[in-house]
Amino acid sequence: MRRALRVLVPLLFVLAWAPTLTPLHRLYGFGPRTALMGIIEGVLLFACAGGIFVAGQPPFRERQGSSVRIVAAALMGWIALTVFTAAVEPARGRSQSARRLSPAAGSDAGPAAPRRVLLLCVDGLDWNALERLVADGQLPFLARVLSGARTYEVDNHGSGLSPGIWARAYSGAAEPIQGFTKWTPRGSERGIAVLPQWRHRPVFMLDAALTAGARLRLWDATSPTNADFVHAPLWRVASAARVPVGVFDPLPFDVAGEQVDGFFAWQADDGFRVAVSNRDGTSSIERIRDETSSDSYDDVIRGEGLRAGIAVRAFSRVRPDLGIYYTHVLDAIGHMIWEPGAVTDAHAARAERARPLSAGRVAAAYRAVDTAMQSLAESFGQPATIVIVSDHGWEFNEYAHRTAPLGVAIIAGSGTRGYGGLMPIESVAATVLALAHVAVPPAVAPPLADVAPQWTTCTNCPAPAVTFLSPPANDIERRNRLRSLGYITK
């Protein structure tokens, strides 16, 4: 037993910490400071593992107490790495930037907030970048929205993987969705989607081990989809309450087309599908080709205009009371610059990182999102409450969003303004439903009382009908993008 502990504990120690020491994985192209931190972290990690192993080697004839020494050495190594990483990693908070961008607290005199709500979901929108680019005059639409909005920092509970965060935002509860991959043992309908985590990453490299097992055909590796929701996402709840909804490609992973009271758009293999429900309960599906690619910064940024244009036309035609639009462009550009997938990419990324934030591709992506938001708001129409939410922020350094920085929430048109502090990610669903005057299911986290002071809970909520119009799209372009960003390896 003691011999097993001598070997097993140091091994598990390395496997637990190695995936979380971010600079250790991003040495190339980040300069001497990152290289130095990476070397120190690597030396410290293996020194701690060596200390644990040595602690299990008692002097001659001394056989008692080795297990205690192993545990004590592991604890001391854990503390040493925790202290070092806490000293060099950036803080997660965005409070100062959020406060400076927020207007003075108060209430707007006028009619009650409109029941029409436009939810704009922007993956990777960051308060620090917003402050710098708004001050530089590059985001006129967001500057106008912020001038009369209620603002928050989104608490993602330390999660750094977008699928799990957005699943909680849409359903208002914990979902069996964590990352971009789930593993299903052959002959079983129950998959493994949620893994134990330490410092925002699965412990013991379980995700890598499961992916390797899939290559050996021990089990199947697939992507989560909106069919995996345990709790009904807010668009199903609103549609069941006969509120017309418009949903545009809402998730960063595979999407199965759904029939809703309004329209539902999703990305398919060769473009987009827009399903519009007819009065007789059927759906007509329009096919829109997408010939853009994710091969370059500029292609990804241009793709935002195409996505927004499709959504703008759908909002103008259908005129729903609840609109949901998701975009990944900021997160994708961030990963392409700060986590390049190849050596050739690293050269271009290093040049991009040397440019000021306000003059590079990050600013261009923010400008594209600002323009898209303005077009979406105009096509959605007034009066309406605009809710802008991100799942996490960005560090704009070698840590990317591995430290799970807090996200952004901006609510304009609710009648309340000023900085509101932390907003749990689960509150997004109920807050949007309450603003849209839809009864909130009892299993959902409550809405924000300062923007939705009056709301109702339904005890016998109408069961949301789930009618899928397509199987989950195995979209090649989306998978290539996720693979290039390191999110999937299959």
Which sequence spans correspond to the domains of the chain? Answer: 2-88, 95-175+230-484, 181-222
Question: What does pLDDT average to over the chain?
Answer: 86
CA distance 409 to 387: 7
Of 443 and 340, the structure prediction assigns the larger pLDDT to 443
In this predicted model, what pLDDT tens digit does every residue of 133-176 receive, in sequence order? 999 999 999 999 999 999 999 999 988 889 999 999 999 999 98
| pLDDT band per the 50, 70, 90 thresholds, residue 60 | very low
Mean pLDDT value across residues 58-77? 75
CB-based contact 172:427 (threshold 8 Å): yes
Question: From the CB of residue 180, how many other CB atoms can be counted at a distance below 10 Å?
Answer: 24
Highest mean pLDDT range out of 207-211, 278-282, 355-359? 355-359
Structure tokens at 467: 């009618």
What is residue 479's predicted lDDT score, i.e. its pLDDT?
58
Helix (H, G, I), strand (E, B) or coil at 351: helix
What is residue 480's predicted lDDT score, i.e. its pLDDT?
60
| pLDDT band per the 50, 70, 90 thresholds, residue 34 | confident
What CATH architecture applies to the domain 95-175+230-484?
Answer: 3-Layer(aba) Sandwich (3.40)
Of 435 and 17, the structure prediction assigns the larger pLDDT to 435
Of 17 and 186, the structure prediction assigns the larger pLDDT to 17
Q: What's the pTM value of the predicted model, to 2 decimals?
A: 0.90
| pLDDT band per the 50, 70, 90 thresholds, residue 292 | confident
What is residue 271's predicted lDDT score, i.e. its pLDDT?
86
DSSP 103: P
| pLDDT band per the 50, 70, 90 thresholds, residue 88 | confident
What is residue 482's predicted lDDT score, i.e. its pLDDT?
59
- Residue closest to 386 by CA, chosen among 150, 205, 33: 150
What is residue 61's predicted lDDT score, i.e. its pLDDT?
47
Mean pLDDT value across residues 312-331? 96
Q: Which residues lie closer than 8 Å to 321 by C-beta, 6 or more apart?
A: 115, 116, 117, 238, 243, 244, 245, 436
Mean pLDDT value across residues 337-351? 79
* Three-class SS of 279-293: CCCCEEEEEEECCCC
- Residue closest to 150 by CA, chosen among 397, 427, 339: 427
**pLDDT at residue 486 greater than cutoff 80:** no
Structure tokens at 334: 């961030």
What is residue 446's predicted lDDT score, i.e. its pLDDT?
94
| pLDDT band per the 50, 70, 90 thresholds, residue 25 | low
Mean pLDDT value across residues 369-395? 96
| pLDDT band per the 50, 70, 90 thresholds, residue 65 | low
| pLDDT band per the 50, 70, 90 thresholds, residue 216 | confident
What is residue 23's predicted lDDT score, i.e. its pLDDT?
65
Structure tokens at 130: 């917003």
Q: Which position has the token pair 């985590």? A: 197
CB-based contact 357:363 (threshold 8 Å): yes
C-alpha distances in Å from residue 57, one per residue of 62, 92, 155, 406, 448: 9, 40, 45, 44, 56
Of 463 and 23, the structure prediction assigns the larger pLDDT to 463
| pLDDT band per the 50, 70, 90 thresholds, residue 436 | very high
CB-based contact 459:202 (threshold 8 Å): no
**pLDDT at residue 253 greater than cutoff 50:** yes
Q: 183: part of which helix (H) or strand (E)?
A: strand 182-185
Question: From the CB of residue 332, how many other CB atoms can be counted at a distance below 10 Å?
Answer: 24
Q: Which residues of 93-103 are buried (b: 16+ CB within 10 A; e: fewer)?
A: ebeebbeebbe
What is residue 109's predicted lDDT score, i.e. its pLDDT?
55
Structure tokens at 28: 């190339």
Mean pLDDT value across residues 376-403? 92
